[in-house]
Structure 1
Amino acid sequence: MESKRQQKFAGLLQEELAAIFQREGASYLPNTLVTITKVRVSPDLAVAKVYLSFLNTNNTSLSVATVNAHASEIRYKLGSRIRHQARVIPTLSFFVDDTNEYVEHMDKIFDKIAKERKDTDEPTDADQ
């Protein structure tokens, strides 16, 4: 369970990182839209796990590796934006947020189950 302090700081980081990726994300990943879906912060506010979602990319693992390669540069830009609001600029780790893919997978499974039920519930000619 995150404290209110962690939640507020995570919200600030999410907002500022979104602005950084909106303005300068094309230099890291051209023709790719990056969305920060969630930020988790350690209790001491020194480490932040940033979960990203990508649009217009074929290889999400390569995209997140590219962003992680630029993590120190992104941290520097974040530090210049929040230097008056935070005492410590956290170390950033980027991860792929695959909840959308999981939801789509579960929807397909539920559709398949519903279709199978519908097929078994329909009366056949022998039943009439």
Structure 2
Amino acid sequence: MDTTRQQKINRLIQKELSEIFRKQTQQMRGVLVSVSTVRVSPDLGIAKVYLSIFPSEKAEELLENIKINVKTLRFDLGQKVGKQLRVIPELSFYLDDSLDYLENIDKLLGKENNSKDE
């Protein structure tokens, strides 16, 4: 269970990282990177960032590029939230595949409904 402070920092980091990714992906047509969830550790030293990347075929490649450039992203985040946070947490990025999971469930349910109609 996150404390109120953790929840506020989660939302702050999510908002600012979303803005950073939006600006960076503007040049890349047809690519969308959104920050679905941020979870900060109780000591506020580590932030796990879950990303949803569209199209999902490019997800692994983009996630690797993001992990390579994690220091730059942390610096950019520090420029934006430096006044609110004393220490900028270490960022670790993960792929949020929950949308793919939901899409797969929809496909399976669609197949089931089509077979019943026949």
TM-score (norm 2): 0.88
Deviation at 1:23, TM superposition (A): 1.9
**Structure of greater Rg:** 1
- 1:57/1:117 CA distance change after superposition, 3 Å: closer
Deviation at 1:90, TM superposition (A): 0.5
Instruction: Tell me the equivalent position of 2:20.
Output: 20
Structure 1 letter corresponding to 2:53: F
Identical columns (%) = 38
What is the distance in 2 between the residues matched to 1:99 and 1:49?
Answer: 16
What is the distance in 1 between the residues matched to 2:65 and 2:115?
Answer: 43
5 Å matches for 1:9-88? Answer: 9-25=9-25, 30-31=28-29, 32-56=31-55, 58-88=57-87
Instruction: Tell me the equivalent position of 2:103.
Output: 104
Structure 1 letter corresponding to 2:9: F
Q: For structure 1, which segment, 105-114 or 32-41, has the greater mean C-alpha deviation from structure 2 after superposition?
A: 105-114
What is the distance in 1 between the residues matched to 2:45 and 2:117?
Answer: 53
What is the distance in 2 between the residues matched to 1:16 and 1:108?
Answer: 34
Residue aligned with 1:104, SS = helix
Deviations 1:66-108 (A, max 9, x none): 0111110000010111111001100011111111100011111
What is the distance in 2 between the residues matched to 1:19 and 1:116?
Answer: 44
Give ranges in structure 1 of 5+ residues lacking alignment.
120-128
